[in-house]
Amino acid sequence: MEYSFQVFMFSVLIAFIFLIIHSLKKQGMRETTLFFGFGFLFGLIREIIYRTWFKNYSFGQMPLRVADVPLTIIFGWIFTFYLGHALCSKLILIKTHQDYLRLMMACSIFSSVICFSIETLAMYMGWWEVFFETSSYAASDLLAGWFYTTLLFFSIYLLITRKLKDVRTLILPFLLIFLIGIIEIVEILKFSMSNAVVVIIYLILLAIIILLHPYLSIILITLALLFFFESIRVFTTNDTRIIIFFSIEFIFLFLVLKSPFLFETQLIKFGSKGEK
């Protein structure tokens, strides 16, 4: 493990330098400092929270740590955020605040796709271990975790950089974050998935999102049945959930890229339209 990890860290360092050079050329010093600085802080805080409150995975003996968080994990988040943003910015032209929403969604899909290969490789290399799933591939739950973590990162980042001036654009992202995060909140507070209050809160959030953006209904209802309701979940394997999750995401990505008008379709609206 030691030799392979050294080779991996050297590769990461070289790639990280290229990312910074690319960002400096495309975005300038201020934007680069903000993105990488906030990315490092965000990744560090996230892993500290997970290490403190969750006991469902372990980093083993990975060296080079900050506050007991391996640097490779933090770099992994920054890589994912930056590569996702660089790619999706080429696919989505920002003209309105709704386009920022599409950009965040696309970056989040990119993140969960990359997650699959990263997590599976790390598992086989023995760099980390999950305790809640036994499979030849990364746990399907991690795909949703990377999706909403990336969504949270870009929601905050666009706010602190003042690129997103109409905060109503963040209604959908934060509702999605809460919706997916409920599963982890349940784990922390030791609720049962059959707890009536938890299920009611989940269904209310789901209903609000569908009222806001009805085009999400088929996708969200499918994923809700697949991941949230244990009675249905037991009938699928980890591999099956991964296949369904990716299938749903690619449908969603098609909508994000090819049908931008769907993001302006709402059954209910909060106030007037955002700034153009």
- Predicted confidence (pLDDT) per residue in 15-42, tens digit: 889 999 999 999 999 999 999 999 999 9
Q: Residue 58's pLDDT band (boundaries 50, 70, 90)?
A: low
Which one is predicted more confidently, 224 or 29? Answer: 29
Instruction: Assess if residue 1 is contained within a domain.
Output: no
Backbone angles phi, psi at 57, to 5 degrees: -155, 160
Instruction: Assess if residue 82 is contained within a domain.
Output: yes
Q: Residue 274's pLDDT band (boundaries 50, 70, 90)?
A: very low
What range defines the domain where residue 179 resides? 11-264
Instruction: Assess if residue 56 is contained within a domain.
Output: yes
Backbone angles phi, psi at 144, to 5 degrees: -65, -35
Instruction: Assess if residue 117 is contained within a domain.
Output: yes
Instruction: Assess if residue 269 is contained within a domain.
Output: no
Instruction: Assess if residue 140 is contained within a domain.
Output: yes
Instruction: Assess if residue 223 is contained within a domain.
Output: yes
Give the residue from 78, 66, 177, 85 showing the smallest Cα distance to 118. 78
pLDDT at 57: 67
pLDDT at 40: 95
pLDDT at 273: 47
Across residues 71-75, what is the average pLDDT?
A: 85
Instruction: Assess if residue 274 is contained within a domain.
Output: no
Question: Which residues are CB-contacts of 214 (< 8 A; sequence separation ≥ 6)?
Answer: 265, 266, 267
Q: Residue 79's pLDDT band (boundaries 50, 70, 90)?
A: very high
Counted domains in the chain = 1
Return contacts of 159-164, CB within 8 angstroms, 24+ apart: 160/34, 160/38, 161/31, 161/34, 163/100, 164/97, 164/100
